[in-house]
Each structure stands twice: as C-alpha cells, then as structure tokens.
Structure 1
Amino acid sequence: MTFARLDHISDLDTLQRMPAWVTSARAETLEDVAFLSGAALNHLHVVLGRAEVPQALLRDRLALRATEACVTFSGRPERARELRDLLHLLSPGDLPGPAGEIYLSWRRATERTVSVKALGRALPTFEPGQIATWLNTGQGAPVSRAAMVLETVLMETPRAEALALILAEASLAQSLGWKHLIPLLAPGLRRGDLRKQGDDLRLACHRALIASAVETARLAADLTRRAEHVKAVAPKLRAKGAGEAVGMFLARDAVAAAALPLPSRAARRLCDRLVELGAVRELTGRDTFRLYGV
C-alpha cells in the first residue's frame, strides 16, 4: 500500500511538469498565446483529475492567493499572514473588514459547485439575477468568455475587482466543464491588465492562465505529497476526534487549534504532535494565537 502511494506521488511529480514548449515558446500574437494557454489548461485539467490531489485544500490555498491579488489591486497592504488572521481569529460578532470580506468571498466561491446560488452566497450584496446576467455576457471560447465577463463587470462596477474576477473565474470553470471554481486569472493578472479591453484583455488573460496553470500544477503536486504524509502519520494520533481534525487540515489552508473538535488543551497537543511529525506547519511564528496548515 505504501509503495502504491509512492508510485502515485512519483507519477504526479512527473505529470505536474508543464511541457517545456508551453512555457518557453515566445508567442506574441493573440492566436499563438491562445494556443499555448489552451495547452496549459488541458495539462492542468489532467493534473486536477488525479484522485490523490487534495482538491478542497488546493482550492482553499488558491483562494488565499486570489485574495492577495485582489487586495493588492485595491491598494491595501494585507498579505497572506494578515488575511489568515482576519479570517481565523475573528471573535463572534466581529466584522472582518474590507480585506476579510474579499477573502470570505473567494473562499465561499471555491467551496461549492459553481452555480448562481453558490455565487450569490459568496457575493451576498448582488442579486442572483444580476449575477446570472453577468455570467451570460461571455461568448465564444472559454477564455474569451471569461475575459468578456471580466470586462463587462468592471465597466459596470469599476472598483469591484474581486467581484469581476470571481465571476470571470466562474465563467471559465463552467466553460471548461469544471465543477468548482479554480482561481487562476486573479493570481496571474496584473493591476494594469484590469484596465485593458477587447483583444488586449484577452491576451492578458491567456498569458495569466499560462503562468497560473504552471504554478497550480506545481502546487497540486506539492500539496499531494504533504497530504499523503498527513495520512501516513494519522494512525499515530490517539486523541479522540483526531480523525476529524486531520480531515480539517486536509481541506483548509489554515486551522486554529480552537477550531478543532477537541478540548482546547488536547487540540494544542495534537497540533504540536503534527508539527513534530512534520505533517503540518505552524504558519504565524507566534507563541500564541497560532495557525497551522499542511
């Protein structure tokens, strides 16, 4: 059984490497870049289809990266460490603030199967009918459709970068036949790209997808290795509720000990034990209010 797992990881390590001609080709025209982004997306589709990839964990990690990009676009200073704190250290009744709201939107958008209802939950300030109208704006091939959605939403709500990108990502996922939204455009686009229109915006989207597909395939392989190690050490954990706790680590970018289904002292001991076993990492560098992740 162990050897089979190692074989799977070895296969994925090989598979996650994007063909060199995709990343090294010097394409300038929209047609050539579109061809390369199609090849990159097809390669990523195969990687994401592997059963051993921890899909929920991957989406949650990508949601954090997409949030970082959107926060940067809006000129705010928060990055991964601050964003995690905004989300995981909230007291009941506290508001997460503008950056925290963006993070919540991305997490909710990636948690469930793509649908107008799920997007309405992620974007509660917008009516489902309006969301559906925006999603139906796009025409043509997947990336062209996503770019048209992005352009339309930004024209109607110029400073709502997160809204526009979430809907563009949803359009892309639906066009590709993916059940879940996979943040790819947001981490790959630059702030200046959001001011582009027409073919210039489509070109920027294609370039962004090539870069993001390469990075996401690499991340998928890395998280798969880490997840397999967590599963391997799980039988050594004797605390009641440890199995459920492990499941949380395998589905979330970060977890606070207080969120685990164990008494507080037992939860802290479990986290310390997982760090000792090399299964999870402490993400904050603090002595208190710590967060842990695979």
Structure 2
Amino acid sequence: MTFGPPDHISDLDTLPRMPVWVTSARAETLEDVAFLSGAALNHLHLVLGRAEVPQALLRDRLALRAAEACVAFSGRSERAGELRDAVHLLRPGDLPGPVGETHLAWRRAVARPVSVKALGRALPAVEQGVIAAWLDAGQGAPVNRAAMVLEAVLTQAPRADEGALILADAALAQAFGWGHLVPLLAPGLKRADLHKRGDDLRLACYRALISLAVETVRQAADLARRAARLKAVAPKLRAKGAGDAVEMFLTGDAVAPSALPLPDRAARRLCDRLVDLGAVRELTGRDTFRLYGV
C-alpha cells in the first residue's frame, strides 16, 4: 500500500475529512484491507462523536439504504422511494407489505440503544434468547466480531439475510461502544458475499466497511450542514407546533405533512415554507402524497 499525507480539515463549519490515504490506497491482502477498514472505522467513530452531526437522522437515512439493499437481496426491484411510501404513507389499519416490513425492521433497529430487547422489536419472529446467542458468537476485533455473527446467523438460518445483517451491525456497534446500531454492512455487501464463509466473508466485510465508512462520513457532513440550516431558519417559523415539527425533520429520514403536529393545511404550508427557505427538500417529485426531508 502507498500512503499520502493525512487530509484532516476541522473547523466550526466542517467535519474532519477522511484521510486521503484511506480513500486512495490500493489494498490486495487481507491484512492491508483489515488495516484500511480499521482506519476508516476509527475516523467514522470520531465523526459520530461530533455534536453537530444529527445522529438520529443519519441512522434513519442509513436504515433506508440498508433496507433498500435487503430488498434487492430478496430479488425485488423496489427502491428508496417505494420503501419510503410503504412506511410513511401507511394509514391506520394498513399493512406495510414485504418491503415496508423490511424498512420498518431497520428503522426499529436504529431507533433505540442496542440491546437484545431492542433488537427483538426489530426482529419479532426471532426469540430474544436466540438473538443473544447469535450476538455472543462474535469474538475479537470489531469487524471480525461482526463477520462471525453474520456467519453464525446465515449458517443456522440461510434465508435470514435481513436479520443476519442487523445483528452483524449490532455486534459492530457493541464492539465500538456506539450507543445505537449504525447500518453499514448491508449497503456495502453484494448478494454473493452472503454465501461466503471464513476469511472470504471477513474480507468482504472489510471491503464493505471501508466504502461505507467513507460514504457515511461524507453523508454525516452533508446532514450536519443541512441540519444547521434548518436550525437557523427555525426561529422564523410562526406556526404553533413548528418547533416539534422541526425536531421531526431533524430525527427522521422523511416526514409526511399528515404526521406533523399541525392541522393538515398548516402542515402543508409549513413544509412549503421550509422548502422555500432551503431548509428541507420535497423527496417524491409528486404533486400529491408528498414527503419531505432534510
């Protein structure tokens, strides 16, 4: 591997960037890939500790990405837009359908601090004792631990891709001491990787985590800027309940006007106002049944 000088920039407006040598180095051996993975994850660990990063929002957006990957693994063609619709446009009594269930599972997995009980909410079909046993299968350094959990679940339940990836990310979070699960593995792995075992699976996990750590650092910086913009315009909002609405935008990937704590017309006006102020975006491109997000 060849390394250049570190490229760290840190000031009041910018999160520290991933070192250039992590993103540009060519790694061929398991040892090299493991080293780069450790460096990338350590940098992500530092970024996740920064107060300006909207942690819940970042996790929820990563949950959408992980759900999209799991849906693709199952052979379905739905993308992020359909997954958002399946969850955020549900009416009372509606069933979310398979893709909605996948999206909900990941959202539940990231919503509460990592614990067997919280993971049981995300994976209600799996007994909590089984979840605990699978988590205990992971030993050693963080990525090795996650890969071992992934292998243990997929060996015992070959079709449980979603559960295996959630628990592997949970093991990674526990190893790093992160309070919440941060979805990283699913978007970085390929379908064929889930059939690998041993060192081949570990290598796939290392490679996946390098790319996703780099991408997540960039996304954290982008969301930090967007969240700062939303907080800056919040005092201009006069609608009753606007403060609670802003908090919803700061903690969730997407928000339907009907979910806001305002009357329907006021909620739509608030969303349009936030779009005009450059604080949120309309996510669907539709004239009706719109969703908004930072």
TM-score range, shorter chain: over 0.9
Structure 1 residue 7: Cα displacement: 4.7
CA shift digits 1:167-213 (9 cap, x unpaired):
00000100111111001111111111111100000000000000000
TM-score, reference length from structure 1: 0.95
TM-score, reference length from structure 2: 0.95
**Partner SS for 2:13:** helix
CA shift digits 1:237-283 (9 cap, x unpaired):
00000000000000000000000000111001000100110100001
Following TM superposition, the consecutive aligned residue runs of length 4 or more in structure 1 with deviations greater than 3 angstroms are: none
> Who is 1:172 aligned against?
172
**Whole-Å Cα distance in 2 between the matches of residues 290 and 186 of structure 1?**
28
> Who is 2:215 aligned against?
215
Where do 1:136-151 residues align within 5 Å? 136-151=136-151
Q: CA RMSD in A?
A: 1.0
Query: Are 2:196 and 1:192 equivalent residues in the alignment?
Result: no
How many equivalent pairs are there?
285
> Who is 2:263 aligned against?
263
> Who is 1:8 aligned against?
12
**Whole-Å Cα distance in 2 between the matches of residues 186 and 102 of structure 1?**
12
Where do 1:112-151 residues align within 5 Å? 112-151=112-151
> Who is 1:86 aligned against?
86
**Whole-Å Cα distance in 2 between the matches of residues 178 and 207 of structure 1?**
21
**Partner SS for 1:203:** helix
**Whole-Å Cα distance in 2 between the matches of residues 162 and 187 of structure 1?**
12
State the percentage of identical aligned residues. 78
Structure 1 residue 70: Cα displacement: 0.5
Larger CA deviation: 237-246 vs 134-143: 134-143
The one-letter code matched in structure 2 to 1:176 is F
Greater relative CO (CA pairs within 8 A, separation 6+): 1
Larger CA deviation: 153-162 vs 33-42: 153-162
Structure 2 spans left out of the alignment, 5+ residues: 1-9
Structure 1 residue 221: Cα displacement: 0.2
**Whole-Å Cα distance in 2 between the matches of residues 27 and 211 of structure 1?**
13
**Whole-Å Cα distance in 2 between the matches of residues 126 and 191 of structure 1?**
22
The one-letter code matched in structure 1 to 2:153 is V
CA shift digits 1:33-52 (9 cap, x unpaired):
11110000000111111011
CA shift digits 1:46-94 (9 cap, x unpaired):
1111011000000000000000111111111111000000001111111
> Who is 1:24 aligned against?
24
Structure 1 spans left out of the alignment, 5+ residues: 1-5
**Partner SS for 1:255:** coil
- Contact 1:114/1:181, CA 8 A, preserved across alignment: yes
> Who is 2:69 aligned against?
69
Structure 1 residue 8: Cα displacement: 2.0
Where do 1:231-270 residues align within 5 Å? 231-270=231-270
> Who is 1:56 aligned against?
56
